[in-house]
Copies of this chain bind each other. A is one copy, B any other.
């Protein structure tokens, strides 16, 4: 086999923005040609952006996407291009890859083995065909297949494995999760070895609502050795030769904390860029959660675009304010103190006809959180900024937050990180910059909502955070948890809190997915549920 020069175009596309996506594609093809590439591959559904969801029910969207695909073909010669788009046949649409050569679409491969989500839109195709591609009078047998979660259908791989194809282009965009990067590598390395065929895996890069596509595309030879590795969490065009490539020494070990940091930053940045917002606003309680979000958003959109507020109430401690102030100083973000004592007293007197004679309780606690929520939303509305909610996953599932209060916002960057991961990432941030970005006192002090005197979070997070994860991510039952030596009283309490707060999560803002399994938006628990 002649040595074929290949380009992986790991690009950041925007859902629905066909014109920009089209431009990215033709520019990348031009760039690849200029670099002598003979074949270029783009990720799954590059032209539409990923994943278009109910846009796929829009006829005009589908036909516009077809028009742009033709325009891409018109502009593509002297190179073979594989481009993901939506193809149509009568009333059926498919998740497809077009193979373009000499200004023509010479083949369209449609995905089979559709996922649950895809079946809402697409019809089953027949992926895993071998296509013949002629470059410089040399004909290559090229396998094309799609993967769901890195499972590759054995029936498919029989068709292109064992040398039947010279190499395989594998499609299947994969959203970031904390443990997924290693799994991806391992699965594809194993598969290449098993089918004795080089695999070029492409993944899209960029944030889309709750999902972060981290890129990290790569290619391995038929022995599973890496021959091309794209960077994570950014656009990257990699050129390499498939047949006689120099084998890279090996995959580098994955720094999971650093990847988490970069992926969250990408997810936040793209949420702003792609929705057209420039400035962020958030409350700094002096606690760890809001501190972490402040760091992430500063990195994502620039500290000059971040507006932070300390909003002390009657129950706030002095260190809350100084910790918040120090953090803001360290980050160089805008910072202001807006005390809520007056507004709180005023609203309580407005409510006096209802509240007089009752004892201080949850209503008064929530009232403080809601005043803060109002203040942030008011400033956001006034200056067209975007509010960030700062809750973590453990709180979210225990229902330990105030609806229309601290849950206010357009994006919740860390709502899928459990409390332990929040601490680990915070420590990592101070370590990676070799200075105390997050004041140590914020990391060391006892977590508190400070909504009444001497109030501390009523949870032992070391124990309760993993327990919540077992219930939510792994769907474990009480009996299974008892066998893992969780305390029965704690199990009952946690299960009860999760169930009681279901209606709150039904109204929750979009959060960035980080867990392996379900995040709150994937969870489909009934609100009315007496089990």
Q: Which of A's residues lie within 8 Å of B, judged by CB?
A: 14-18, 20, 49, 51-55, 57-61, 64, 116, 119-120, 207-209, 270-271, 274-275, 336, 338-340, 342-343, 346-347, 349-351, 353-355, 358, 361-363, 366-367, 370-371, 373-375, 377-379, 381-382, 403-404, 408, 410, 475, 477-479, 503, 506-510, 523-531
Interface contact B507-A508, CB-CB below 8 Å: yes
Which B residues are in CB contact (< 8 Å) with A367?
374, 378
- Can you list 22 A-B pairs, Cβ within 8 angstroms, ordered by A? A15-B526, A15-B530, A16-B530, A16-B531, A20-B530, A55-B525, A57-B475, A59-B477, A119-B119, A208-B526, A209-B528, A336-B353, A338-B351, A347-B378, A351-B375, A355-B382, A366-B377, A370-B404, A371-B374, A377-B403, A506-B509, A507-B509
- Closest B residue to A376 by beta carbon equals B404
Q: CA–CA, A105 to B68, complex, Å?
A: 59
Q: How far is the CB of A308 from chain B (nearest CB, A)?
A: 13
CA of A402 to CA of B326, assembled, Å? 34
Q: Shortest CB–CB separation between residue A118 and chain B, in angstroms?
A: 11
A401 to chain B, nearest CB (A): 13
For the complex, give the distance between the alpha carbons of A336 and B350 in Å: 12
Instruction: Tell me whether B382 and A528 are in contact (CB under 8 A).
Output: no
User: What is the distance, in angstroms, from A408's C-beta to the closest C-beta of chain B?
Assistant: 6
Within the complex, what minimum Cβ distance (angstroms) separates A92 from chain B?
A: 16
Q: In the complex, what residue of chain B is closest to A510 when comparing beta carbons?
A: B506
Contact call B350/A342, Cβ cutoff below 8 A: yes
**In the complex, chain B residues whose CB is within 8 Å of the CB of A354:** 336, 338, 378-379, 382
Q: Which of B52, B350, B478, B525 is A54 in contact with, Cβ under 8 Å?
A: B525
Taking the closest CB of chain B, its distance from the CB of A372, in whole angstroms, is: 11
For A477, what are the chain B residues with a Cβ–Cβ distance below 8 Å?
58-60
Q: Which residue of B lies closest to A340 (CB)?
A: B350
A381 touches B404 (CB 8 A): no
Given A208-B526, A350-B343, A374 contacting B381 (CB threshold 8 A): no
Pairwise interchain contact B531-A55, C-beta atoms closer than 8 A? yes
Q: Which residue of B lies closest to A51 (CB)?
A: B526
**A529 near B15: Cβ-Cβ < 8 Å:** yes
In the complex the two chains form, is A209's CB within 8 Å of B343's CB?
Answer: no
Residue of B nearest to A206 (CB): B528
Closest CB in chain B relative to A374 CB, distance in Å: 5
A262 to B301, CA, bound (A): 52
A15-B526, A338-B353 given. 15 additional CB < 8 A pairs?
Answer: A52-B526, A53-B526, A54-B523, A54-B526, A208-B526, A271-B528, A274-B530, A338-B351, A340-B350, A343-B350, A347-B378, A363-B378, A366-B377, A367-B374, A374-B404
Complex CA distance for A112 and B100, rounded to whole angstroms: 41
Q: How far is the CA of A275 from the CA of B529 in the complex (A)?
A: 8
Distance (whole angstroms) from the CB of A422 to the closest CB of chain B: 23
A383 to chain B, nearest CB (A): 8
Minimum Cβ distance to chain B for residue A169 (Å): 26
Q: Residues of B contacting A379 with CB < 8 Å?
A: 351, 354, 363
B366 with A338: CB separation less than 8 A: no
Expressed in whole angstroms, the minimum distance between the Cβ of A453 and any Cβ of chain B is 19
Given contacts A381-B362, A479-B60, contact A528 B54 (CB under 8 A): no
A210 (CB) vs chain B CBs: closest residue = B527
A410 / chain B contacts, CB cutoff of 8 Å: 503
User: Which chain B residue lies CB-closest to A56?
Assistant: B524
| Distance from A452 Cβ to chain B, minimum over Cβ atoms (Å) | 14
The closest CB in chain B to the CB of A478 belongs to B60
In the bound complex, residues from chain B placing their C-beta under 8 Å from that of A347 are 343, 346, 371, 374-375, 378
CA distance A448 to B297 in the complex (A): 38
B378 touches A209 (CB 8 A): no
The answer for the CA separation of A371 and B353 in the assembled complex, in Å, is 16
- Most chain B CB inside 10 Å of its own CB: which residue of A16, A20, A51, A342: A16
Find A404's partner among B271, B404, B530 (CB 8 Å cutoff): B404
Q: How far is the CA of A119 from the CA of B367 in the complex (A)?
A: 43
Nearest-CB residue, chain B, relative to A19: B530
Q: A528 with B355: in contact, given A362-B381, A374-B367 (CB under 8 Å)?
A: no
Q: 10 smallest A-B Cβ distances: which pairs? A: A16-B531, A17-B530, A363-B381, A363-B382, A346-B346, A16-B529, A404-B404, A274-B528, A16-B530, A60-B477
Q: Are A531 and B18 in contact (CB under 8 A)?
A: yes
A16 touches B526 (CB 8 A): yes
If A350-B343, A378-B347 touch, whether A275 touches B363 (CB-CB below 8 Å) is no
